Amino acid sequence: MRPFTFFERLSKAFHDYPSLSKILIVSTISGGGLIVYSEANASYSNNGVETETRKKKVVLLGTGWAGASFLKTLNNSSYEVQVISPRNYFAFTPLLPSVTCGTVEARSVVEPIRNIGRKNVEMSFLEAECFKIDPRTQSNTFNIPGVEENCHFLKEVEDAQRIRSTVIDSFEKASLPGLNEEERKRMLHFVVVGGGPTGVEFASELHDFVNEDLVKLYPKAKNLVQITLLEAADHILTMFDKRITEFAEEKFTRDGIDVKLGSMVVKVNDKEISAKTKGGEFSTIPYGMIVWSTGIGTRPVIKDFMKQIGQGNRHALATDEWLRVEGCDNIYALGDCATINQRKVMEDIAAIFKKADKENSGTLTMNEFQEVMSDICDRYPQVQLYLKSKGMHGITDLLKEAQAENGSNKSVELDIEELKSALCQVDSQVKLLPATGQVAAQQGTYLAKCFDRMDVCEKNPEGPIRIRGEGRHRFRPFRYRHLGQFAPLGGEQTAAQLPGDWVSIGHSSQWLWYSVYASKQVSWRTRVLVVSDWMRRFIFGRDSSRI
Amino acid sequence: MRPFTFFERLSKAFHDYPSLSKILIVSTISGGGLIVYSEANASYSNNGVETETRKKKVVLLGTGWAGASFLKTLNNSSYEVQVISPRNYFAFTPLLPSVTCGTVEARSVVEPIRNIGRKNVEMSFLEAECFKIDPRTQSNTFNIPGVEENCHFLKEVEDAQRIRSTVIDSFEKASLPGLNEEERKRMLHFVVVGGGPTGVEFASELHDFVNEDLVKLYPKAKNLVQITLLEAADHILTMFDKRITEFAEEKFTRDGIDVKLGSMVVKVNDKEISAKTKGGEFSTIPYGMIVWSTGIGTRPVIKDFMKQIGQGNRHALATDEWLRVEGCDNIYALGDCATINQRKVMEDIAAIFKKADKENSGTLTMNEFQEVMSDICDRYPQVQLYLKSKGMHGITDLLKEAQAENGSNKSVELDIEELKSALCQVDSQVKLLPATGQVAAQQGTYLAKCFDRMDVCEKNPEGPIRIRGEGRHRFRPFRYRHLGQFAPLGGEQTAAQLPGDWVSIGHSSQWLWYSVYASKQVSWRTRVLVVSDWMRRFIFGRDSSRI
């Protein structure tokens, strides 16, 4: 069967549901972009009679973190969800580095997407092969020559399986007769590019696999294996606390993993990788296998869509704070295919002033301001971040400070220029959300909850006041709550950074890691499988059969 | 790296061990042919001094049933085993049909070959990619056009994995919009060719997978799925007792599996399979997927070797009763690449007579004959099979019967013509061993035990008298002991046929099947995994993620 192209599928879906009027986009970490359209209008059946019971249609593209948590949360029988994805399963991506070395089996981290939705929401699934076209371009190769052809990526379950068999294969090849020591060393030289959590976790998993399991079966290989980690920045794990970075770098050095900081890859061929240090020094190293782990590129299907809607010069779809794609009605985008374009306070400052100045007096009293304050904080989360960074307790502190600076400390009212000067620094706190599964999952849950309460909130909007319009927004904007992050470092040691800058490194956080990852599994089946895989690994070690 | 060819590898192995003087071949069910050479001569080190401690080299080709049981049994530190195989693991092939539907995971039925050998036997392993060239030609396609291109086979772990994802894929494809009912039906029409144990087990696994798990996720597909089993003979499972065959055919009919007996496949194209009934009637059926399961072809590497040693017109390597390849010193062949050429009594009748007639009198007394009787029964197992089939207790009964027939019933001595007429029917009992894992495993164990006692038996031979030579054979010839056979029929029902024609069908033999297959696992790791896979299936069902 000829695979459908993306747009063929889309038009097919339209054809099957001719009364569709609303569209949403969702995208997920390592899951492919996805579009959701929903039909909210009452539609007409063949005989022209209005059928009120017709369900609202939602089309969801992709089955990654955002899509899966959307499906898991959506709990309103008035929707009918059509899922389109190249994969009929959700993959628990944080365990992919474990899959590369067989600590956890591939099948233990996947769950059929048909099992994830709730019973009372009608769901159907279409497998769209089009997404598979050139999956390699998903990773961000910075157009460095030779990367796409010679490197492994680590985004999908298949990548992890391929890496696993390539690692075993390297050991088998290096055991063949008729090779000199140099060739064997080259084959057993594993290079990891990128010192983010995924690259670091892969390097430490590989180190454990080699030292705990493979050396027993390939005793001669022990002194030939080398793991090198190349990082362009000055440190690995830069998104973590400095203590974690230092601990990780020291542990890797102790473990014999060669961490080359400030090393930018410039070229890769089939046997050698060339890097440049910050000082401009070039070096070329022979390698056996490279795993490329430096952030996420844009999927072709999202690129195409971005061109269509005039966002062609961006890296990801721009959405508003409610995850709606800018310029598109009823298209929502989530996860790593999208970035939220947080509205700036200074762009809206005149409208804010006008909204707050109910009496239209040209000046704001503190009372007037306090009335809209919570709405402003809801609408512009950067305000609170800024207050927090300054150690202030409320927005009035900020206004008072601004008045003091302007020398008008006696006044209890402020004009628009004073408001501007008070808030001029606030927008510096606007931050892009990281492209992690945690963000995508929270977005999926948020959107599903909005959909669930769509009718209720249409009547009783619960969002902040519309600054440039009348009434209120239906929903509160999406707000990300960072729950912490783990960096497994091998040897049963994990670094954990929890909210409030609580840092923990060692065996205790490894156990925290085990329990968090077990509890986050989407189904009891995968939970049992993952835990039994860990137990199996403790008892029998990792399997090294090349299948 | 360019893959080595088989002969390059062989000459490399020779080059690495220049003092090799003995060679063996072994082959294994679904495991590729294998050669073992052993060096029994004392060799000279560089300085010309004889080094008596030099180990005897054995080269073993293949890591299937024969090879694995050879490695598992060999327990003599004077050997050094070099294993060459395309796979670095042993696969428990009887569970492959379970792998096709995810009842058991692929990784649960494999064990790295490096883990299988005993600690005191030095072992090394070479991965020989050459075996992978056109693996499809392993299956016996009878040169029917289109079979190789369009059918799935079920010999290797990879085949089982491919079948699994193709089954899921068929369901996904049949769920796509824009197809008519006929096309959906075609996609969900699964055809199994061959009614042997593997084909029957796959059909029943697939039936259970569809009816227990897939219908929940693809409710619309239930009425579209069809499983058809084509068998050229008049019944399925012909190697089993008639009661089992009947039960299986009835159960399949009840289950809605369409069993077409007496149907010979004549042609396959990418969408249709054509078959001919015995009456000459042609029929062409559209299909979605075909699994071809009709016995074993010869691997190209064995074919090449057979041509070299002048056995080019055979289907398998001919060996003697000690598993030595005919015409080759120190090459042994085991498993499905070989057949034992049992020596016929009538070919040796003159030598037997001469050997027994110690006094060279031209006639044999009963006493003389009884002295060599046990040796003859050892050397020619067909004698005992013949006696059993005739209900006789000893060879003397046979001789007496022959004398009675010849009218010389008073004589207590017999001449060569009388001996000939007594034994003339005996060779009809020579039977080929089936190409099963059970035979291969017993051959591997037998050969390893011979190797273990090589030195002892060289001095004190324990085999039968050499009929056409002096002294005794070193070892007793290989003798196969049939331990019974299972045929899982789905729905927790298994047919079992144990020695003594003990037949059992139903849930009790399913539990027997579970316990036998669990106990036969080569390692505790795979045992735990297989049992936990079964438990997981009971609790959560089979996984339908397409990975």
Tens digit of each residue's pLDDT (9 = 90 or more) over A157-187? 999 999 999 999 999 999 888 899 999 999 9
| Percent of chain A predicted with pLDDT > 70 | 87
pLDDT score of B190: 97
Please report the pLDDT score of residue B459 as a whole number. 93
Of the ranges A21-30, A363-372, A514-523, B228-237, the best mean pLDDT one: B228-237
Rounded distance between C-alpha atoms, residue A472 and residue A454, angstroms: 14
Beta-sheet strands, E only, within A278-337: 282-286, 289-292, 317-319
* Res. B193: pLDDT tops 90: yes
Task: State the best of A99, A127, A545, A546 to mutate against chain B, taking most chain B CBs within 10 Å.
Answer: A545
3-state secondary structure of A86: coil
Query: Per residue in A297-306, pLDDT tens?
Result: 777 778 888 8
Mean pLDDT, residues B477-489 taken together: 91
Q: For residue A409, what pLDDT is reported?
A: 54
Instruction: Note whether ipTM > 0.90 here.
Output: no
The answer, yes or no, to whether residue B242 has pLDDT greater than 80, is yes
Say if the Cβ atoms of A547 and B161 lie within 8 Å.
yes
**A57 falls in which pLDDT band (50, 70, 90)?**
confident
Yes or no, beta carbons of B107 and A525 under 8 Å apart? no
So what's the pLDDT on residue A406?
67
Q: Is the pLDDT of residue A272 over 70?
A: yes
In 3D, which of B317, B434, B336, B320 has the Cα closest to residue B65?
A: B336
**Would you call B177 helix, strand, or coil by DSSP?**
coil
| Pick from B112, B157, B536: CB nearest A543 | B112
Determine which of A250-254, B27-31, B134-138, B395-399 has the lowest per-residue pLDDT on average.
B27-31
- B228 has pLDDT over 90: yes
| Letter string b/e over residues A86-104, b meaning 16 or more CB atoms within 10 A of that residue's CB | bbbbbbbbbbbbbbbbbbb
Say if residue B406's pLDDT is above 70: no
- Neighbouring residues of A339: CB distance < 8 A, sequence distance ≥ 6: A315, A316, A317, A318, A319, A432, A433
From the CA of B260, how many Å to the nearest CA of chain A?
28
Residues 6 or more apart in contact with residue A298 via CB below 8 angstroms: A306, A315, A316, A337
3-state SS track over A523-545: CHHHHHHHHHHHHHHHHHCCCCC
Q: With contacts defined as CB-CB under 8 Å, which chain B residues touch A87? A: 545-546
pLDDT band at residue A20 using 50, 70 and 90 as cut-offs: very low
Write down the pLDDT at residue B262.
94
* Strand, coil or helix: A223: coil
Evaluate if residue A17 carries a pLDDT over 70.
no
Phi, psi dihedral angles at B388 (to 5 degrees): -60, -45
Do the Cβ atoms of B349 and B467 come closer than 8 Å? no
**CA distance to A341, A466, B116, per residue, from A470 (Å):** 22, 6, 76
* Nearest-neighbour CA in chain B from A106: distance (Å): 8
Question: A534 or B31, which is more confident?
Answer: A534
Say whether pLDDT at B47 is over 60: no
Chain A's closest residue to B112, CA to CA, is A545
Q: Give the distance from residue B463's alpha carbon to the nearest chain A alpha carbon, in angstroms.
A: 38
Residue predicted with more confidence, B55 or A25 = B55
Report yes or no: B95 and B506 within 8 Å, Cβ to Cβ: no
Q: Do B177 and A546 count as a contact with CB atoms less than 8 A apart?
A: no
Tell me the chain A residues in contact with residue B16 when contact means C-beta distances shorter than 8 Å.
Answer: 177
> CA A324 to CA B443: how far, in whole Å?
69
pLDDT tens for each residue of A94-141? 999 999 998 999 989 999 998 898 888 888 888 775 444 344 447 677
Question: Beta strands B258-261 and B226-231: pairing type?
Answer: parallel
Confidence of residue A53 (pLDDT cuts 50, 70, 90): low
User: Closest Cα of chain B to A72: distance in Å?
Assistant: 16
Query: Which of A51-60, A359-368, A530-539, B273-282 shows the lowest mean pLDDT across its residues?
Result: A51-60
| Mean pLDDT, residues B353-359 | 87
A408-459: pLDDT as tens digits: 555 567 888 888 888 888 999 888 888 888 999 999 999 999 999 989 999 9
Query: What is the per-residue pLDDT for B402?
Result: 73
Token pair of B224, please?
């579209």
Q: What are phi and psi for residue A540, nearest 5 degrees?
A: -105, -5
- Enumerate the residues of chain B whose CB falls inside 8 A of the CB of residue A532: 532
Enumerate the β-bridge partners of residue A490.
A493
Q: What is the mean pLDDT of residues A57-71?
A: 89
User: DSSP secondary structure string, B313-373?
Assistant: TSSSEEE-TTSBBTT-TT-B--GGGEEE-PPPTGGGHHHHHHHH-TT--SSEEHHHHHHHH
Residue indicated by tokens 């961000």: A140
Closest CA to A299 of A161, A535, A135, A438: A135
The residue with greater pLDDT, B241 or A227, is A227
Higher pLDDT, residue A37 or A195: A195
Chain B contact set for A544 (CB, 8 A): 88, 112, 114
CA-nearest of B472, B354, B468 to B419 is: B354
In the predicted model, is pLDDT for residue A14 greater than 70? no
**Average pLDDT of A371-383?**
89
* pLDDT range class, residue B188, cuts 50, 70, 90: very high
Query: In this predicted model, what pLDDT tens digit does every residue of B77-110 receive, in sequence order?
Result: 988 888 888 888 999 999 999 999 989 999 899 9
Q: How far apart are CA A506 and CA A486, in angstroms?
A: 11
Residues of chain A neighbouring B177 (CB-CB closer than 8 A):
12-13, 15-16, 126
pLDDT in tens, A493-542: 999 998 887 899 989 899 999 999 999 888 888 999 899 999 988 888 88
Q: Is the pLDDT of residue B29 over 90?
A: no
- Which pair of tokens denotes residue B170? 């068929």
Mean pLDDT of B268-282: 93
Residue of B nearest to A165 (CA): B88
| Mean confidence (pLDDT) of chain B | 84
Max mean pLDDT range (B396-400, B497-501, B525-529): B525-529
User: What DSSP character marks residue B424?
Assistant: T
Q: What pLDDT does residue B380 have? A: 92
Grade residue A25 by pLDDT with cuts at 50, 70 and 90: very low
Predicted local distance difference test score (pLDDT) of residue A188: 96
Of residues B303 and A246, more confidence is placed in: A246
Identify the three-state secondary structure at position B126.
strand
Q: How confident is the model at residue B411 (pLDDT cuts 50, 70, 90)?
A: low
- Measured CA to CA, the distance from residue A248 to residue A236 in angstroms comes to 8
For residue B78, the surrounding DSSP H or E stretch is: none
Report the distance separating Cα B476 and Cα B479, nearest Å.
Answer: 8
- Cα A495 from Cα A489, distance rounded (Å): 7
> Other CB atoms closer than 10 Å to residue B460's CB: what's the count?
10
CA nearest A168 in B: which residue? B88
Q: Is 50 exceeded by the pLDDT of residue A29?
A: no
Strand partners, B284: B274
The least confident of A368-372, B166-170, B222-226 is A368-372
Q: Rounded mean pLDDT of chain A?
A: 84
**Residue B22's pLDDT band (cuts 50, 70, 90):** very low
What one-character-per-residue DSSP string does A324-381 give? Answer: BBTT-TT-B--GGGEEE-PPPTTTSHHHHHHHH-TT--SSEEHHHHHHHHHHHHHH-H
Q: Is the model more confident about A37 or about B517?
A: B517
* In the predicted structure, residue B20 carries a pLDDT above the cut 90: no
What pLDDT is recorded for position A232? 93
Predicted pLDDT of residue B272: 95
Beta-carbon separation of B12 and A178 below 8 A: yes
Q: pLDDT > 90: what percent of chain B? A: 41
Mean pLDDT along residues B506-533: 90
Exposure on the CB side of residue B356, measured as CA atoms within 13 A: 26
In DSSP notation, B197-217 reads HHHHHHHHHHHHIIIIIIHHH
Tell me the pLDDT band of B5, cut-offs 50, 70 and 90: very low
Asked if the model's pLDDT at residue A546 lies above 90, the reply is no
Q: For chain B, give the longest Cα–Cα distance.
A: 91
Question: Kind and range of the H or E element at A450?
Answer: helix A437-452
Strand B189-193 to B226-231 pairing: parallel
pLDDT of A288 above 90: yes
Residues of A in contact with B528 (CB under 8 A): 536, 539-540
Q: Which residues of A288-309 are buried (b: 16+ CB within 10 A; e: fewer)?
A: bbbbbbbebbbbbbbbebbeee
Q: Do A173 and B127 touch (CB under 8 A)?
A: yes
Alpha-carbon distance A309 to A316, whole Å? 12
